[in-house]
Chains A and B, each alone.
Chain A
Amino acid sequence: RKEVEQDPGPFNVPEGATVAFNCTYSNSASQSFFWYRQDCRKEPKLLMSVYSSGNEDGRFTAQLNRASQYISLLIRDSKLSDSATYLCVVNRPNQGGKLIFGQGTELSVKP
């Protein structure tokens, strides 16, 4: 089983749609969770951290389910500029806390 697993997509959605990405992780001891965004041929950038109680930043909502070892990202009212690859990132606490990246989920928002 991969440490961090994501549906690679691509997800093709119209502007204004709501889209949800899922991510599962295998290490139950993981404590830190993030979503990064990577635009085509650019570097990854932090989109948002994921907190136990769930958190929201504008149109973006992140949820964590520790029992199921599952993280989600919900994007409401999709914009063309949301087109990118979304990377689920989890820490590996018993090996120096290094961050493990998922393969990424590609999103394409169409007019």
Chain B
Amino acid sequence: ETGVTQTPRHLVMGMTNKKSLKCEQHLGHNAMYWYKQSAKKPLELMFVYSLEERVENNSVPSRFSPECPNSSHLFLHLHTLQPEDSALYLCASSSRGGPDTGELFFGEGSRLTVL
């Protein structure tokens, strides 16, 4: 069983819908991340939170809105997405952020399809 859980595992939404992805880590880590994985492309870092503060916003369109209410939970709010946003969205956590991030622990991902 993974120490990082993501829900939902699968999501299909229309371009006008609003939905949210949820991530919870049970590892006592201080940093949490959202990555996007599209077919045949490297994982793309979207957002980084360290001690609940956003420390990285990697030029992600505003239709993706992260929220980190505490060090164990991370959300990705989605609205007016485009079909090209269909991908696997992976949440990860690490014991520390900054220059020496250490090992990333990933959740199983939320597979998003935008119609």
Complex Cα distance, B48 from A105, in Å, reads 26
Asked if A46 is at the interface (CB within 8 A of a chain B CB), the reply is yes
Which residues of chain B are near A14, meaning CB under 8 Å? none
Among the 9-residue stretches A52-60, A76-84, A91-99, the one with 4 or more Cβ atoms under 8 Å from chain B is A91-99
| A32–B101 CB distance below 8 A | yes
Q: Assuming the A-B contacts A46-B103, A96-B99, are A101 and B48 also in contact, with contact meaning beta carbons closer than 8 angstroms in the complex? A: no
Which residues of chain A are near B41, meaning CB under 8 Å? 103
Complex Cα distance, B97 from A93, in Å, reads 11
Residue positions of A touching B, CB distance < 8 A: 4, 8, 31-32, 34, 36, 42-46, 49, 87, 91, 93, 95-104
Q: Assuming the A-B contacts A93-B99, A97-B101, are A43 and B107 also in contact, with contact meaning beta carbons closer than 8 angstroms in the complex? A: yes
Residue positions of B touching A, CB distance < 8 A: 2, 35, 40-43, 45, 48, 55-56, 90, 97-101, 103-104, 106-109
Which residues of chain B are near A98, meaning CB under 8 Å? 45, 48, 56, 101
Which residues of chain B are near A97, meaning CB under 8 Å? 97-101
Q: What 12 additional pairs, Cβ within 8 angstroms, besides A87-B43, A97-B97, A101-B42?
A: A34-B103, A42-B108, A43-B2, A43-B90, A43-B107, A46-B103, A46-B104, A49-B103, A96-B56, A98-B56, A98-B101, A99-B104
| B106–A45 CB distance below 8 A | yes
Which residues of chain B are near A96, meaning CB under 8 Å? 48, 55-56, 97-99
Which residues of chain B are near A93, meaning CB under 8 Å? 99
Which residues of chain A are near B108, meaning CB under 8 Å? 42-43
Shortest Cβ-Cβ A-B pairs, 5 listed? A97-B99, A43-B106, A101-B43, A101-B42, A103-B42
| B42–A102 CB distance below 8 A | yes
Complex Cα distance, B43 from A100, in Å, reads 8
Which residues of chain B are near A32, meaning CB under 8 Å? 100-101
